[in-house]
C-alpha cells in the first residue's frame, strides 16, 4: 500500500468515528491493511486497538462499501463482532468452506442468544447487533452501507499466529510504499 492511501484511510476513519460519537483514546494503535493483496478498496480494513491485555482485546474498525475482510478463522480467539454504525454483513461457516458442506447446520450466538445457522449463511446486522464467533468458525464480513463502524471484543489477540485465511496468498499486514510522511505509526511498524 502507498503511505498516502494509508493516511487517507486513517483520515476517513477519524472523521467517521467522530461523526458517530466515538472518542478515541490518547495514542491509539492504528492498523490499516490490504491483507497483502494490493487492493485495499476491495480487500482491506482500518482497525484501532482500543485495549490489548493478556486476557482480552477490544478493537474499533471501519469498513467501506465493497471492501471485504476475506474468509478466515481463529484457532484460539473467540470474538464478538458488533455493528456500531451502518449495516454489516457477515458470512459464516462451521468449518473451512472448501471442506464443509454448504448448508451444514450449526449453532452460534446472535445478540447473545443461540441461533441455528447454515454454513454459507450471510447474517445481516443493524447498528447495535452482534455475532459471537467461536474458534474455528470461518467468517468474512463487509459493509452494506457506504461506511460501517464495527466493534470487536475478543479473547487475547495474536494477529501474527492466529489468523487462518482460506486464500493462502493473504498476509495480515501490508507492504508499504513511502510516498508521503506517515500520519501515525502502524501496529505492524512497531
* Burial of 103: CB neighbours in 10 Å, binned 0-12, 13-18, 19+: exposed
Per-residue pLDDT tens digits for 161-182: 899 999 988 887 888 999 999 9
Alpha-carbon torsion 12, 16, 19, 21, what sign?
A: negative
- pLDDT band at 159; cut points 50, 70, 90: confident
Q: How confident is the model at residue 73 (pLDDT cuts 50, 70, 90)?
A: very high
Structurally, how many domains does the chain consist of? 1
pLDDT of residue 17: 98
Tell me the CATH number at 145.
2.60.120.10
Cβ atoms 187, 30 nearer than 8 A: yes
* 181 phi and psi angles, rounded to 5 deg: -65, 145
Does position 150 have pLDDT exceeding 90, yes or no?
yes
Query: Across all residues in the chain, what is the average pLDDT?
Result: 95
**Domain of 14, in residue numbers:** 3-189
Question: In whole angstroms, what separates CA 157 from the centre of its chain?
Answer: 12
| Cα gap 128→109, rounded to integer Å | 14
Work out the average pLDDT over 87-115.
98
Determine the Cα–Cα distance for residues 188 and 185; give it in Å rounded to an integer: 8
Q: In this predicted structure, what is the pLDDT of residue 134?
A: 98
Write out pLDDT tens, residues 24-64.
Answer: 999 899 999 999 899 999 999 999 999 999 999 999 999 99
**pLDDT tier, 22 (very low <50, low <70, confident <90, very high otherwise):** very high
Q: How confident is the model at residue 84 (pLDDT cuts 50, 70, 90)?
A: very high
Amino acid at each position: 500500500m502507498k503511505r498516502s492511501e494509508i493516511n487517507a484511510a486513517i483520515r476517513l476513519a477519524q472523521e467517521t468515528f467522530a461523526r458517530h460519537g466515538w472518542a478515541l483514546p490518547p495514542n491509539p494503535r492504528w492498523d490499516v491493511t490490504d491483507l497483502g493483496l494490493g487492493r485495499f478498496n476491495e480487500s482491506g480494513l482500518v482497525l484501532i486497538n482500543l485495549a490489548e491485555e493478556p486476557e482480552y482485546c477490544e478493537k474499533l474498525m471501519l469498513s467501506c462499501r465493497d471492501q471485504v475482510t476475506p474468509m478466515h478463522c481463529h484457532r484460539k480467539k473467540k470474538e464478538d463482532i458488533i455493528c456500531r454504525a451502518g449495516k454489516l454483513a457477515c458470512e459464516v461457516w462451521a468449518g473451512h468452506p472448501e471442506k464443509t458442506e454448504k448448508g451444514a447446520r450449526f449453532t452460534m450466538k446472535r445478540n447473545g442468544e443461540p441461533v441455528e445457522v447454515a454454513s454459507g449463511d450471510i447474517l445481516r446486522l443493524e447498528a447495535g447487533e452482534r455475532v459471537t464467533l467461536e474458534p474455528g468458525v470461518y467468517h468474512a464480513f463487509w459493509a452494506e452501507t457506504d461506511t460501517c463502524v464495527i466493534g470487536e471484543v475478543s479473547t487475547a489477540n495474536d494477529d501474527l499466529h492466529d489468523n487462518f485465511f482460506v486464500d493462502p496468498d493473504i498476509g495480515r499486514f501490508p507492504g508499504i510504499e513511502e510516498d508521503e510522511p506517515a500520519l501515525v505509526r502502524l501496529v505492524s511498524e512497531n
